[in-house]
Amino acid sequence: MPELARTGASPVILLPDAGPLITLAYASGLDLLLKPGWPVRIVDMVLNEVTRNVTPTSEQIGRWVEQHAITVAPTRTYQHYQAQQVEQPGVASKANLGEFAIQEVMHDMALSEPDSVGVFLFEDHKIARASFLVPENGRKVSTRAFLQFLEGNGWIPCAQSVERAAINNGRHFSQIRFP
């Protein structure tokens, strides 16, 4: 990811999954997503995942998205989910829909914004598998790696202090390290 910090040629767009949003909210660190100066896009299905139920972080995340006028990327995945909710309330499966929606946005970006780089920020170790496909102009980056990137660029003093804050505030942060 260091090459992204130095490259001015390709615009970088940050696409966080639910896990990093929740972890950073527990650490009171959602603004860390803005540190590199890259546009942040929240995929509609992911926003729904983190705000549809009342949780310790749902209101904070929703408010942060509104306050910073974060772009919400629409997807066919979320449209289909909404339609299923109308037809059969409570029956539609929600499993993996956020990840499917992010893949959809990344592939759409590859076609409509081929000069951009989509950085998919994830925390779920299942996403580290090769089966989660990203286009050539996409990158998968774990929350830990992102925090280390911020520390390495001098944007935060200590990546581990953000992790500790999230854990101390009740987040069950993944112990799996990638890469």
In a domain, 5, yes or no: no
Q: Side-chain half-sphere of 46: how many Cα atoms within 13 Å? A: 30
pLDDT of 68 strictly over 90: yes
In a domain, 18, yes or no: yes
In a domain, 173, yes or no: no
CB-based contact 113:105 (threshold 8 Å): no
In a domain, 21, yes or no: yes
In a domain, 174, yes or no: no
Between helices 18-26 and 58-67, what is the axis angle to 10°? Answer: 100
Instruction: Say which residue, 143 or 93, is predicted with more confidence.
Output: 143
pLDDT of 174 strictly over 80: no
H or E element that contains 110? helix 97-112
CB-based contact 107:135 (threshold 8 Å): yes
pLDDT of 9 strictly over 70: no
In a domain, 99, yes or no: yes
Domain extent for 111 = 13-168
What pLDDT, on the 0 to 100 scale, is given for residue 127? 56
Tally of domains within the chain = 1
What is the average pLDDT value for the chain, to the nearest integer?
Answer: 87
In a domain, 30, yes or no: yes
Q: What is the DSSP string of 37-87?
A: ---BEEEHHHHHHHHSS--TTHHHHHHHHHHTTPEEEP-HHHHHHHHHHHH
Q: Is 11 helix (H, G, I), strand (E, B) or coil?
A: coil
CATH number, domain at 97? 3.40.50
